[in-house]
């Protein structure tokens, strides 16, 4: 008798669970999109959001057939505000996934509380070294790039070219330090100078004078947003553009800054996972659709955000959209397969992407617009340098 009661009880629980699962499948997937929408770097957030929204449109406005509720917040490039937004989105809005963050200092402020709350982070931009290595976490995925890798690959390129002396410049915050660390990991020539400027600084006259005096063979710099616009323009105004070539990761020479820089950037070089004239079919469609929707060339930032949505859709389809099943969603993301506009894409054991990197040059297209134009493949399937420090089995416990 007791056995029959237990069977009936177990059956009722099973039916309740099935009903609950069916109901949740009709509810929207809640995504918190925290990015920088104001100030000198505001264009970065708008570029990411535009790419993300176009990605949603490309999959019918839903992820694996489920509606999506995107909750947007402006972190103003301030870690404390990013943390407040993340807390509110998790606690009040019930966000299941946080994305959109472009600055690594904001990411480092929100990551632990978001993960501790049981939500996922899927980054469309920031890929701090800490979460690639010892702080890696089963629910922390970077769909864009690990921060060091773009500068690592430029270090590889300049090393192969036999460049002897390079001058380094970046803002003094986590991504800036990661960028220059990555470059030095592979470039074995002389570092003629290594300068970290204040985050958000817009006047570089003193630093450019110091650079001129050092007489390097090349300059490698990382300045996103308004910082990059001002640095490159002031560098050209100082008469150095024709004397000492500029090299950078794409985030300092892409469509988030090129319209503001103008011709001063022509002839500079960048390492990138997505040249803005990349010619695979998925990339061509993305660029055409983006230009039709927004009237401008997309940047690698927009490409990352677009790719992220299509990656999420592909992963969720393998589990019938059940993002509430966290172990299943985590496994699906780690093994995801989709047609990336960047070409090769897969996650490493630390949930960081393994992708190809190219050399691009700032040039003009057939309409006279400046863009990052593909030149050469630098390295195929580049893995970040922190994966060996990641113990995913121990992480998140």
DSSP labels, 288-299: HHHHHHHSSPPP
- Looking at 198-238, list the stretches that DSSP marks H as alpha helix, in order from N- to C-terminal side: 205-214, 225-237
Helices 104-116, 174-186: crossing angle, 10 deg rounding: 110
Per-residue model confidence (pLDDT) at position 25: 58
Show pLDDT as tens, one digit a residue, over the chain (397 residues): 444 433 333 333 333 343 344 435 589 999 999 999 999 888 889 999 999 999 999 999 999 999 999 999 999 999 999 999 999 999 999 999 999 999 999 999 999 999 999 999 999 999 999 999 999 999 999 999 998 999 999 999 999 999 999 999 999 999 899 999 999 999 999 999 999 999 999 999 999 999 999 999 999 999 998 999 999 999 999 999 999 999 999 989 999 899 999 999 999 999 999 999 998 999 999 999 999 999 999 999 999 999 999 999 999 999 999 999 999 999 999 999 999 999 999 999 999 999 999 999 999 999 999 999 999 999 999 999 999 999 988 765 4
Per-residue model confidence (pLDDT) at position 118: 97
Which parts of 218-290 are beta strand (E)? 218-221, 246-249, 269-272
CA dist., res. 101 & res. 126, Å (int):
6
Sign of CA dihedral 161, 166, 169, 173: positive
Burial class (CB in 10 A: 0-12, 13-18, 19+), 279: exposed
Whole-structure pTM value: 0.87
Those residues with Cβ within 8 angstroms of residue 204's Cβ, 6 or more apart along the chain or in another chain:
197, 230, 231, 234, 235
| CB 88 within 8 Å of CB 112 | no
CA dist., res. 153 & res. 204, Å (int):
26
Per-residue model confidence (pLDDT) at position 393: 82
DSSP labels, 328-349: HHHHHHHT-----TTS-EEE-T
Per-residue model confidence (pLDDT) at position 320: 97
Longest dimension (CA), the chain: 92
């Amino acid at each position: 008798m007791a056995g029959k009661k237990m069977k009936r009880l177990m059956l009722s629980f099973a039916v309740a669970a099935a009903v609950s699962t069916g109901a949740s499948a009709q509810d929207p997937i809640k995504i918190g999109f925290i990015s920088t929408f104001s100030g000198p770097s505001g264009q970065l957030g708008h570029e990411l959001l535009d790419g993300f929204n176009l990605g949603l449109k490309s999959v019918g406005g839903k992820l694996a057939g489920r509606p999506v509720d995107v909750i947007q917040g402006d972190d103003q490039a301030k870690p404390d505000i990013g943390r407040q937004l993340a807390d509110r989105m998790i606690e009040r809005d019930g966000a299941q996934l946080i994305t959109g963050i472009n600055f690594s200092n904001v990411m480092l402020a929100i990551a632990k509380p978001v993960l501790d709350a049981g939500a996922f982070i899927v980054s469309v931009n920031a890929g701090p070294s800490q979460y690639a290595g010892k702080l890696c976490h089963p629910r922390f995925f970077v769909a864009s790039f690990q921060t060091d890798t773009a500068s690592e690959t430029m270090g590889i390129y300049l090393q192969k070219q036999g460049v002897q002396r390079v001058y380094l410049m970046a803002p003094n915050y986590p991504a800036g330090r990661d960028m220059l660390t990555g470059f030095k990991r592979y470039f074995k020539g002389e570092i003629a100078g290594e300068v970290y400027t204040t985050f958000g600084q817009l006047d570089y006259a003193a630093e450019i004078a110091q650079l001129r005096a050092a007489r390097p063979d090349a300059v490698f710099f990382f300045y996103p947003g308004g910082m990059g616009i001002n640095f490159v323009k002031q560098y050209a105004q100082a008469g150095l553009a024709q004397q000492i070539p500029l090299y950078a990761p794409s985030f300092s020479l892409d469509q988030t800054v090129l319209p503001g820089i103008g011709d001063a950037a022509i002839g500079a070089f960048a390492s990138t996972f997505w040249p803005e004239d990349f010619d695979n079919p998925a990339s061509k469609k993305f660029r055409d659709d983006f230009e039709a929707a927004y009237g401008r060339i997309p940047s690698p930032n927009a490409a990352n955000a677009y790719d992220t949505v299509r990656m999420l859709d592909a992963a969720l389809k393998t589990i019938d959209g059940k993002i509430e099943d966290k172990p299943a969603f985590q496994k699906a993301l780690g093994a995801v397969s989709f047609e990336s506009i960047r070409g090769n894409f897969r996650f490493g054991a630390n949930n960081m992407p393994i992708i190809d990197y190219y050399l691009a040059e700032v040039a003009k297209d057939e309409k006279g617009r400046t863009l990052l134009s593909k030149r050469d493949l630098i390295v195929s399937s580049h893995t970040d340098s922190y994966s060996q420090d990641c113990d995913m089995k121990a992480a998140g416990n």
